[in-house]
Structure 1
Amino acid sequence: MKCFKYFFLAAFITIFEHCRGQTCVVDNFKVKDDFEFNRYAGKWYAVSKKDPEGLFLQDNISAEYTLDGEGTMTASSKGRVKLFGFWLICADMAAQYSVPDPTTPAKMYMTYQGLASYLSSGGDNYWVIDTDYDNYAITYACRTLHEDGTCNDGYSIIFSRNPRGFSPAITRIVRQKQEEICMTGQFQTVLQSGAC
């Protein structure tokens, strides 16, 4: 019986330490080390997403990232958006990215504009949480924080180079990263039917 008590106490301490280490404070989230813009450039397809509050692209989302001669990254995105609660139309967005801290290039600031009057314009953080450049990329943005530093209104998009998604091995990596940014179970699949 005494061994069972010690085993239970050790298991409890292990679980407590894991939970304490799993913090949802946004500033503690890790991003891709040594992020390489030239490898990230090209076409990506959204395969799942966690939306922010308000109007957001619905499905058939893709983004084409390019670099200019000075190394500035821009993107043109497409996707369907639902207007008036029922009308789905294809929409175009454009974005430009800046790097506030050159020592952390994966933490960018994105300035975006909808290319139609019903789409919003503005700016958000754009963090690349992880990517292998060839298969997947996990992006994250938090628009507003709670007083404790956790995210109040944020979003994330999981991108793939292939519109059909990932292998089981890549899926496991993506799920682990979703847990690390405290968004497990919050994602919905993004339809890629070629509508846009």
Structure 2
Amino acid sequence: MRKILALLSALTLGGCLGMPKNVQPVTGFELNRYLGKWYEIARLDHSFERGMERVTAEYSLRDDGGVTVKNRGFLAAKGEWKEAAGKAFFVGEPDTGYLKVSFFGPFYGSYVIFELDKEQYQYAFVSGPDHSYLWLLSRAPAVDKELLARFTEQARQRGFDTGKLIYVKQQP
């Protein structure tokens, strides 16, 4: 019985570490260049971000080689800031943009960087374990129309429902 429970637990937890069909993580990834503050430009809706604007993510190196994740957003309806702190670790090689992120104890979800400005590290297209998780992150609170159109088209081609994208209000 213990073996069955252990197997079911492993399958359940491991199921959150997959990636959507047609999504592949970038290679040549450099974590030190990715660290720092990112602005959320667009996303698919989820309860943990619902109603939030001015959303940012900040990444810093942990002593154990992992990444500290600090997400912050403003709930306009309540007039208050919400923060969530988590941790992330590479799923495979550290030069591949595929990490597992946890905000809740032993439960991890995929963080797949499938497009990245490798020259300047100014934008990133990120997915979770399936097609219901999608983000466009930028070092600046706004992006040009061409980048937004490219993000939308690449996401659509990979099977994301881009008609449901939320464009996050940011303050410049």
TM-score tier after normalising by the smaller chain length: 0.7 to 0.9
Which residue identity does 1:89 align to in structure 2?
E
Which residue identity does 1:171 align to in structure 2?
L
1:140 corresponds to 2:132: no
Q: Give the structure-2-normalised TM-score.
A: 0.73
Q: Report deviation, 1:27.
A: 3.8
Which residue identity does 2:88 align to in structure 1?
Y
Larger radius of gyration between Structure 1 and Structure 2: 1
Q: Report deviation, 1:66.
A: 1.0
Which residue identity does 1:56 align to in structure 2?
E
SS state at 1:126 partner: strand
**What is the CA deviation profile of residues 48-91 of structure 1, one whole-angstrom value per residue up to 9, with x for unaligned ones?**
11123x33252110111112355321211110247xxx534211
Conserved 8 A contact 1:32-1:130: yes
User: Where in structure 2 are the equivalents of 1:148-159 lying within 5 Å?
Assistant: 151=131, 154-159=132-137
User: Where in structure 2 are the equivalents of 1:1-196 lying within 5 Å?
Assistant: 26-52=20-46, 54-57=47-50, 58-81=52-75, 86-102=77-93, 105-113=96-104, 122-132=107-117, 133-142=120-129, 151=131, 154-163=132-141, 165-183=142-160, 184-193=162-171
What is the aligned length?
150
Name structure 1 gaps, 5 residues minimum. 1-24, 114-120, 144-150
Aligned partner of 1:146 in structure 2 is none
- Please provide the CA RMSD for this pair: 2.7
- Work out the percentage of aligned pairs sharing the same amino acid: 21
Q: 1:71 to 1:180 in 2, by over 3 A?
A: farther
Name structure 2 gaps, 5 residues minimum. 1-18
**What is the CA deviation profile of residues 86-142 of structure 1, one whole-angstrom value per residue up to 9, with x for unaligned ones?**
5342111112111222277312110015xxxxxxx9532111111115321111113
Conserved 8 A contact 2:66-2:90: no
The CA distance in 1 between the partners of 2:122 and 2:27, in whole Å, is 17
Conserved 8 A contact 2:102-2:109: yes
